[in-house]
C-alpha cells in the first residue's frame, strides 16, 4: 500500500520540520542565541511550506508557516478578559516607595524584610495571551482592563510569542501577560520608511506599537517586527507539571522561570531583591543602565515575590497592593519659542514645527520639535515667544508637551498654521475627518523635491549619487519639473552644478540609465501614490503586470475600484487612491514621458514562473472566504486558491464564483444564498482544488 505509507512519512517529515524550525526560531528570537544558519532555516521553511501546500491536511495551527495568517480584518471584536487587567500604582520618589512598603507590611501584619522582584517597566503595550491545551488561542489588548480588543492574528506574527507552549503537560487553560514593544532600532527604521513615503511619523515606540497592534492587516504587523516580554502568569489551581515541566511556581521569581521554560522571552534584567535597600539599589542601577537598552523603559516595577503573600495583600479598586511602579523622571526641559516653521512633505502634508532656543536633552542638543498637526497646535494654544516644555527620550522624536501660559509675554499673538503653502503659495486644504493639512499643488517645489527623493530612494529606483542638495539645485533652477526630467539630464549640465565633478556627473547619468531596468513593482512604489508602500506595490504589480493594465483596471468602471480591491491585501482606501492617481491627467502625462525615456513600466514575462505552474483549476474564478474553516487558516486557504489560479475577494457579488463558508459565517453567506452563488465547505473547496483544470 504505497499511498498511505507516503502520507505517513510526509506527516512525520512535516512534524520534524516544524520541530526544527520552532526550535531554531526560539533560539533566535527568544534566547538571542541563533543556532541555525539563515539559508538552512529558509530551506527547511520552504520545504515545510511546499509539503503543506501540497497537502493542506498537514497544516497545524502552531506551524511556523501559520504566523502571518489571513486577509486583512474588517475590524476588531471587543472581548471580556477572564481576569481583569489592572494597572499599577505609581511612586515618583523613594519616599513614596517607602510609604508603599510600610502600607504593605501593615496589611500583611508583618515586620522585617519582604523579598521583592524588581523588573524593568517596559514602555510598551500590555497584552493578555490565552493558551488552551498549550495552543495560543486568543490575544487581547488591555482596553479598559475589563474588555480589550481581540488581536490574535496580529500577535501570532510576533516571533517571540510561542504558538505552542513547550510543556509536556500543558494546562487546560492558562493566561500569560506581558508587554509588546517595538525596539528603538526598529522604530527608527519604521519612521525613516514612513518619512520616505510621506506618511505621518509615530511620536515614539509605544505609539508605534499601539498603532501596529491595531493594524487590520497582519502582514503589516509582521513587517514591523514587534517583540514581547512575558511577566505574569495565571495558572488554573489544578495544574500539575508533567515530566520535565517546570514546577508550579510559588513566587513571582519562579513564575518568570516557568514562563521562560514554557518558551517565552522574559526580560533578563529582573532581580530577586531581599529587602528595601536592594530595591533602591536596583532602581538606582537602572536609572543610568536603561539608557543603553535597545528599548524604552520608564521605570521599574517592584513586586512582592511570594505569591501567597500577594494573595493576602490583595487589590485596591484599580491596582494590586503587592506591586508598584517606580518611575524615572521624564526627560523634559523648558525653552523659549523662536519661530513656528512649517515643513511640506512629499505628499503635501504640512507639519508645524516649533523652533526654540537650543536645550540639552537625553544626550543631544535639541532646537526643533514637531507639533504634529493643526489640531495639536490648537490644543497647545501656542503663542509667539511662549515658554514651552520640550520632551525627548532616547529614540523619541522631540515634541512640545505643554506651554507655560503663565509666563506668556503680554499681547503675544496666537500661532496657527498658515492658509497658504509656505513653499509655493497655493491655498492649503484640510479634508473632512483628516488630521493632515495639505498642499495639493502638484507642481509645488517641496512636493516635487520629496517625489524625486522618493523615486531615487533605496526601496524604489535606488539611484546612487542623487542626494538632497543636488535635488534642491535641480528643482530650484527649474532643470527638473517632473521625475521624467531626470532622464533627460546630460552629464555636461550636471557637471556644471555646485559640488559636482565630471566623473560624478557621468556616474549619475549611468545610474539613472541603469535604473530603467528596475522591476515594475519598484517603479510603481517609486511613483509615491498615497497608501502604496512597497508591500502594496508588490501585490498590485503582481496582479497588474504593467502600468497599462493597472490603468485599465482603474478606468474599467469609474467609481468602482472592484478590480483593484480583488487583489489580496488591497482595501478600498488604497484602491481609491490608486484610481485617483491613474485618472489624474498630470500623472497620465508622467507615465507617457517615462515611456518616452525608455521605461517599459511592465514586468518582464517570467518564463520560470509560468513554466512551473501546475494545473490551474480556479483560473479566472473569484472566491470569497467567510467564517472559520475546520482545518485551514484563512491564509492557507487563500494561498491554495491563488496557487490554483483563483482570486480571493472580500465581498460577495453576482460575479463571485464560490463562497467558502466555515463556522460562524455571517452576512457573506446569506448574501451568497440570496444571489444564488454556490456555497462550499472546506471539503468542497479541497475537492475543487483537486479537479483537473476546466477546459
Cβ 88 to ligand IVH, closest distance in Å?
Answer: 4
Q: How far is the CB of 28 from ligand IVH (least distance, A)?
A: 23
Helix 205-213 to helix 184-196 angle (10° resolution) is 70
- Please list the active-site residues: 121
Residue 86 binding ligand IVH, by CB under 6 A: yes
Contact 397, 371 (CB under 8 A): no
CB of 322 to ligand IVH, least distance (A): 9
The SS3 of residue 509 is: helix
Residue 149 Cβ, how far from ligand IVH at the closest point, in Å? 15
Give CA angle at 573 (482, 197), nearest 5°: 40
Instruction: Give the whole-angstrom CA distance, residue 377 versus residue 374.
Output: 5
Question: Is 301 a binder of ligand IVH (CB under 6 A)?
Answer: yes
User: To the nearest whole angstrom, how small is the minimum distance from the Cβ of residue 494 to ligand IVH?
Assistant: 54
Residue 563 DSSP SS3:
helix
Residues 6+ apart with CB under 8 A from 382: 337, 340, 354, 371, 388, 400, 403, 414, 415
**Please, which residue, 269 or 343, has the CB nearer to ligand IVH?**
269
Between 325 and 550, name the residue whose CB sits nearer to ligand IVH: 325
Lay out the site mask for ligand IVH across 530-569 (x = CB under 6 A, - = otherwise): ----------------------------------------
> Contact between 474 and ligand IVH (CB under 6 A)?
no
Measured from the CB of residue 694, what is the shortest distance to ligand IVH in angstroms? 54
Phi, psi of 114 (to 5 degrees): -110, 130
DSSP structure string for 5-18: HHHHHHHHHHHHHH
18, 121, 449, 647: residue in contact with ligand IVH (rule CB under 6 A): 121
Task: Kindly tell me which residue out of 17, 180, 325, 480 binds ligand IVH, with binding defined by CB under 6 A.
Answer: 325
- Of 320, 334, 459, 627, the one binding ligand IVH (CB under 6 A) is 320
Rounded CA separation 261/241 (Å): 12
- Quick check: 100 binds ligand IVH (CB under 6 A)? no
Cα-Cα-Cα-Cα dihedral sign, residues 472, 478, 482, 487:
negative
Residue 662 is given by DSSP the state -
Q: Is residue 296 within the footprint of ligand IVH (CB under 6 A)?
A: no
DSSP one-letter code for 30: I
Name residues contacting ligand IVH, limited to 176-205 (CB under 6 A): 179
Q: Interface with ligand IVH includes 129 (CB under 6 A)?
A: no
Quick one: 255 or 403, whose CB is closer to ligand IVH? 255
Interatomic CA distance for residues 586 and 250, integer angstroms: 69
Under rule CB under 6 A, residue 72 binds ligand IVH: no
Looking at the Cβ atoms of 230 and 672, the one nearer to ligand IVH is 230
Segment interacting with ligand IVH, rule: CB under 6 A, options 5-13, 120-128, 531-539, 614-622: 120-128
Classify residue 184 as exposed, middle or buried by CB count within 10 Å of its CB (0-12, 13-18, 19+): middle
- In the list 44, 48, 122, 276, the residue contacting ligand IVH (rule: CB under 6 A) is 122
Q: Which stretch binds ligand IVH (CB under 6 A): 121-129, 131-139, 202-210, 661-669?
A: 121-129
Q: Which residue is nearest to ligand IVH (CB)?
A: 126
CB of 257 to ligand IVH, least distance (A): 15
Query: Cβ neighbours of residue 232 under 8 Å, at least 6 residues apart?
Result: 176, 177, 178, 255
Q: How far apart are CA 509 and CA 633, in angstroms?
A: 49
- How many amino acids of this chain bind ligand IVH (CB under 6 A)? 15
- Residue 448 engages ligand IVH in binding (rule: CB under 6 A): no
Residue 97 in the binding site for ligand IVH (CB under 6 A): no
Nearer to ligand IVH, 51 or 86 (CB): 86
* 231-270 binders of ligand IVH (CB under 6 A): 231-232
676 SS3 class: coil
Q: Is 281 in the site for ligand IVH (CB under 6 A)?
A: no
Q: Using CA atoms, how far apart are residues 567 and 143, in angstroms rounded to an integer?
A: 32
Inter-residue contact 677 to 655 (CB < 8 Å): no
* Closest distance to ligand IVH from the beta carbon of 152 (Å): 19
Nearer to ligand IVH, 270 or 570 (CB): 270
Determine if 227 is a binding residue for ligand IVH (CB under 6 A). Answer: no
Question: From the CB of 323, what's the least distance to ligand IVH, in Å?
Answer: 5
Cβ at position 661, least distance to ligand IVH in Å: 38
Q: In residues, how long is the chain?
A: 695
Using the rule CB under 6 A, give the single segment among 4-12, 82-90, 341-349, 504-512 that binds ligand IVH. Answer: 82-90
Please choose, from the candidates 503, 667, 634, 498, the residue with its C-alpha nearest in 3D space to the C-alpha of residue 568: 634
Please identify, using beta-carbon distances, which residue of 91 and 529 lies nearer to ligand IVH: 91
Q: Please report whether residue 445 would count as binding ligand IVH according to CB under 6 A.
A: no
Q: Which is nearer to ligand IVH, 18 or 327 (CB)?
A: 327
- Member of 221, 323, 439, 547 binding ligand IVH (CB under 6 A): 323
Site membership for ligand IVH, residue 326 (CB under 6 A): no
Q: Is 71 exposed, middle or buried (0-12, 13-18, 19+ CB in 10 A)?
A: buried
Q: Where are the alpha helices (DSSP H) in 230-291?
A: 252-261, 276-289
Assess contact for 524 and 564: CB atoms under 8 A.
Answer: no
CB of 127 to ligand IVH, least distance (A): 8
Minimal distance, residue 327 CB to ligand IVH, in Å: 9
Question: Could you tell me the CA-to-CA distances from 671 to 224, 353, 572, 664 in Å, in that order?
Answer: 36, 50, 20, 14
Contact predicate 121/299, CB 8 Å: yes
Please choose, from the candidates 485, 361, 341, 534, the residue with its C-alpha nearest in 3D space to the C-alpha of residue 423: 341
The answer to whether 87 contacts ligand IVH (rule: CB under 6 A) is yes
Task: Please report which helix (H) or strand (E) contains residue 680, including its range.
Answer: strand 678-680
- Does residue 678 bind ligand IVH (CB under 6 A)? no
Could you tell me which stretch among 33-41, 100-108, 114-122, 591-599 binds ligand IVH (CB under 6 A)? 114-122
User: Is there binding between residue 322 and ligand IVH (CB under 6 A)?
Assistant: no
Residue-wise DSSP of 372-430: -SHHHHHHHT-BTT-EEEEE--TTPPPEEEEE-GGGPPTTPPBP---SB-TTT-PBEE-
Q: Please provide residue 659's backbone torsions phi and psi, each rounded to the nearest 5 degrees.
A: -110, 125
Rounded CA gap, 489 and 468, in Å? 17
Q: Does 601 bind ligand IVH (CB under 6 A)?
A: no
- Residues 349 to 408 in contact with ligand IVH, rule: CB under 6 A: none
Cβ nearer to ligand IVH, comparing 308 with 469: 308
From 85-93, 343-351, 461-469, 627-635, give the range in contact with ligand IVH by CB under 6 A.
85-93
Binding site for ligand IVH (CB under 6 A): 86-88, 119, 121-122, 126, 142, 179, 231-232, 301, 320, 323, 325
Amino acid at each position: 500500500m504505497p499511498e498511505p505509507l507516503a502520507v505517513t512519512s510526509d506527516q512525520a517529515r512535516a512534524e520534524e520540520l516544524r520541530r526544527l524550525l520552532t526550535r531554531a526560531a526560539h533560539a533566535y528570537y527568544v534566547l538571542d542565541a541563533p543556532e541555525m544558519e539563515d539559508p538552512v532555516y529558509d530551506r527547511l521553511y520552504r520545504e515545510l511550506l511546499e509539503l503543506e501546500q501540497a497537502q493542506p491536511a498537514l497544516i497545524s495551527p502552531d506551524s511556523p508557516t501559520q504566523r502571518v495568517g489571513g486577509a486583512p480584518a474588517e475590524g476588531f471584536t471587543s472581548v471580556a478578559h477572564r481576569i481583569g487587567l489592572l494597572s499599577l500604582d505609581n511612586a515618583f520618589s523613594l519616599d513614596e516607595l517607602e510609604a508603599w512598603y510600610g502600607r504593605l507590611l501593615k496589611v500583611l501584619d508583618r515586620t522585617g524584610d519582604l523579598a521583592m522582584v524588581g523588573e524593568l517597566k517596559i514602555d510598551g503595550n500590555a497584552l493578555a495571551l490565552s493558551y488552551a491545551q498549550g495552543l495560543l488561542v486568543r490575544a487581547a489588548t488591555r482596553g479598559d482592563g475589563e474588555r480589550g480588543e481581540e488581536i490574535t492574528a496580529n500577535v501570532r506574527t510576533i516571533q517571540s510569542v510561542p504558538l505552542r507552549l513547550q510543556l509536556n503537560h500543558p494546562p487546560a487553560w492558562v493566561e500569560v501577560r506581558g508587554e509588546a514593544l517595538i525596539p528603538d532600532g526598529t522604530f527608527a527604521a519604521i519612521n525613516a520608511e514612513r518619512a520616505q513615503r510621506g506618511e505621518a511619523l509615530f511620536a515614539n515606540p509605544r505609539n508605534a506599537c499601539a498603532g501596529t497592534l491595531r493594524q487590520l492587516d497582519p502582514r503589516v504587523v509582521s513587517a514591523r517586527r514587534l517583540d514581547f516580554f512575558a511577566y505574569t502568569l495565571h495558572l488554573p489551581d489544578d495544574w500539575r507539571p508533567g515530566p520535565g515541566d517546570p514546577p508550579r511556581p510559588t513566587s513571582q521569581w519562579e513564575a518568570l522561570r516557568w514562563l521562560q521554560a514554557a518558551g517565552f522571552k522574559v526580560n533578563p534584567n529582573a532581580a530577586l531583591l531581599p529587602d528595601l535597600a536592594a530595591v533602591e539599589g536596583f532602581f538606582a542601577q537602572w536609572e543610568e543602565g536603561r539608557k543603553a537598552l535597545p528599548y524604552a523603559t520608564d521605570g521599574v516595577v517592584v513586586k512582592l515575590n511570594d505569591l501567597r503573600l500577594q494573595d493576602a495583600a490583595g487589590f485596591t479598586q484599580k491596582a494590586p497592593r503587592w506591586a508598584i511602579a517606580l518611575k524615572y523622571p521624564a526627560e523634559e526641559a523648558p525653552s523659549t519659542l523662536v519661530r513656528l516653521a512649517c515643513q511640506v512633505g512629499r505628499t503635501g502634508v504640512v507639519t508645524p514645527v516649533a523652533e526654540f532656543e537650543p536645550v540639552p536633552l537625553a544626550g543631544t542638543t535639541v532646537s526643533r520639535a514637531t507639533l504634529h498637526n493643526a489640531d495639536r497646535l490648537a490644543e497647545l494654544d501656542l503663542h509667539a515667544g511662549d515658554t514651552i516644555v520640550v520632551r525627548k527620550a532616547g529614540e523619541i522624536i522631540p515634541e512640545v508637551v505643554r506651554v507655560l501660559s503663565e509666563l506668556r509675554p503680554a499681547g503675544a499673538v496666537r500661532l496657527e498654521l498658515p492658509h497658504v503653502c509656505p513653499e509655493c503659495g497655493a491655498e492649503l486644504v484640510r479634508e473632512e475627518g483628516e488630521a493632515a493639512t495639505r498642499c495639493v499643488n502638484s507642481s509645488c517645489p517641496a512636493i516635487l523635491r520629496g517625489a524625486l527623493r522618493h523615486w531615487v530612494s533605496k526601496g524604489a529606483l535606488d539611484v546612487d549619487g542623487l542626494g538632497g542638495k543636488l535635488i534642491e539645485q535641480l528643482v530650484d533652477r527649474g532643470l527638473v519639473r517632473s521625475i521624467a526630467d531626470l532622464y533627460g539630464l546630460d552629464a555636461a549640465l550636471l557637471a556644471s552644478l555646485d559640488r559636482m565633478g565630471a566623473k560624478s556627473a557621468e556616474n549619475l547619468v549611468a545610474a539613472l540609465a541603469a535604473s530603467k531596468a528596475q522591476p515594475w513593482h519598484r517603479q510603481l512604489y517609486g511613483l509615491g501614490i498615497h497608501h502604496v508602500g512597497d508591500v502594496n506595490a508588490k501585490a498590485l504589480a503582481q496582479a497588474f503586470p504593467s502600468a497599462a493594465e493597472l490603468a485599465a483596471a482603474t478606468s474599467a468602471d469609474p467609481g468602482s475600484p472592484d478590480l483593484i480591491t480583488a487583489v489580496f491585501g488591497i482595501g478600498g482606501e488604497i484602491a481609491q487612491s490608486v484610481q485617483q492617481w491613474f485618472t489624474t491627467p498630470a500623472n497620465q502625462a508622467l507615465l507617457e514621458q517615462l515611456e518616452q525615456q525608455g521605461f517599459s513600466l511592465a514586468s518582464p514575462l517570467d518564463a520560470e514562473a509560468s513554466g512551473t505552474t501546475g494545473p490551474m483549476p480556479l483560473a479566472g474564478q473569484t472566491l470569497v472566504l467567510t467564517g472559520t474553516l475546520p482545518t485551514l487558516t484563512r491564509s492557507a486557504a487563500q494561498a491554495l486558491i491563488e496557487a490554483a489560479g483563483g482570486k480571493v475577494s472580500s465581498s460577495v457579488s453576482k460575479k463571485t464564483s464560490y463562497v467558502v463558508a466555515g463556522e460562524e459565517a455571517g452576512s457573506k453567506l446569506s448574501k451568497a444564498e440570496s444571489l444564488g452563488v454556490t456555497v462550499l465547505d472546506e471539503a468542497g473547496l479541497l475537492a475543487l482544488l483537486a479537479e483537473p483544470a476546466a477546459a
